[in-house]
Amino acid sequence: MEREFVEWLVRQVPADPRLEVPAGDDAAVLRPPASRRTVVTVDMLMEGVDFVLGPDCPPEAVGHKSLAVSLSDLAAMNARPEAVVVAVALPSRGGESLGRRIHAGLAALAARHDVAIAGGDTNAWDGPLVVSVTAIGSVPPGRAWRRDGARVGDRLLVTGACGGSLLGRHLAVVPRCREAAEIAGRFDVHAAIDVSDGLSLDVARLMAASGTAAVLDLAAIPIHPDAVTMSRQAGDSRSPLEHALGDGEDFELVLAMAPEVAAAAVAASGTGALDVPLTIIGDVIEGCGLFVRDPDGALAPLAPRGFLHALEG
């Protein structure tokens, strides 16, 4: 019964001082932090597209992932997570048990990032599972990391390593919220994006928004061990580097910074001063698109690779 399930859900949500009116009313009322902007992002995850329920993907992992991808968007804006609302379409049969387990996964991650669960919309149907998470964060005025702020001469950096997320990391997403706050506290970032659809594709998006081009240093791209494992699997014809450039769902951050700031950030990274690994992967240049350098130093175009939702006609 939906009503009892929703009442159960509402009881699960801990009281939060940010909520003037908590979940259970027509809408939630939030006390926005003083002198900060409100940052909003939504992501919809669909069964069969973004996850396949099964032994490797229990409902808790769906709950985790659906919140994690939205938190990653907040991190990519330098926004502090504040609250979340969750809409679900559950299958009529077995939907309540599924809903409880999705909630458990989502609530655990929300607690870890101090995000208030402010409300939601619970539905049942005979279709596949759909989860839509809207995350609300905050950032001081003018301090959001936009996509359009990269400048010619900037260096491009990436947190962590990329590729092979399908081996499991695409579910166990670790949104880089704390790392973003840590970086923003010490270094000036001109532009940022999170790697959702593929490192090269998302760098291309960052460059397109900024009206600039990028030269990537392929030898410098941090390749995740999962990318190596995947490239060794039977039938896989792609190199670890190709996996790192095109797999997507890494949810690492790509940042554009002035050269001296980038150097200082890399020097600090991996030390106690800045926990997150940071690697310089390229440079922002005039023009449009992605490039690599030939052995003789000439620029050659690089086709962005990554995941695109197909819409026909």
Residue placing its CB nearer to a copy of itself in the complex, 74 or 280: 74
Continuous segment of H or E residues that includes residue 241: helix 240-246
For 86, the token pair is 């969750």
303 touches a copy of itself (CB under 8 A): no
Q: How far is CA 147 from the centre of its chain?
A: 14
146 touches a copy of itself (CB under 8 A): yes
Q: Minimum Å distance from CB 239 to a copy of itself?
A: 25
Residue placing its CB nearer to a copy of itself in the complex, 199 or 230: 199
Q: How far is CA 142 from the centre of its chain?
A: 21
Alpha-carbon gap, residue 170 to 58, rounded angstroms: 13
Mask: binding to a copy of itself, 17-56, rule CB under 8 A, as x and -?
---xx--xxxxxxxxx----xxxxxxxx-x-xx-------
Residue placing its CB nearer to a copy of itself in the complex, 192 or 227: 192
130 touches a copy of itself (CB under 8 A): yes
207 touches a copy of itself (CB under 8 A): no
Q: Minimum Å distance from CB 249 to a copy of itself?
A: 14
Q: How far is CA 276 from the centre of its chain?
A: 15
How many degrees, rounded to 5, is the angle at CA 95 between CA 121 and CA 46? 65
119 touches a copy of itself (CB under 8 A): yes
Phi, psi of 184 (to 5 degrees): -65, -30
Residue placing its CB nearer to a copy of itself in the complex, 29 or 220: 29
Q: What is the DSSP letter of 162?
A: B
Residue placing its CB nearer to a copy of itself in the complex, 82 or 226: 82
162 touches a copy of itself (CB under 8 A): no
Q: Which residues pair with 156 in a beta bridge?
A: 256, 282
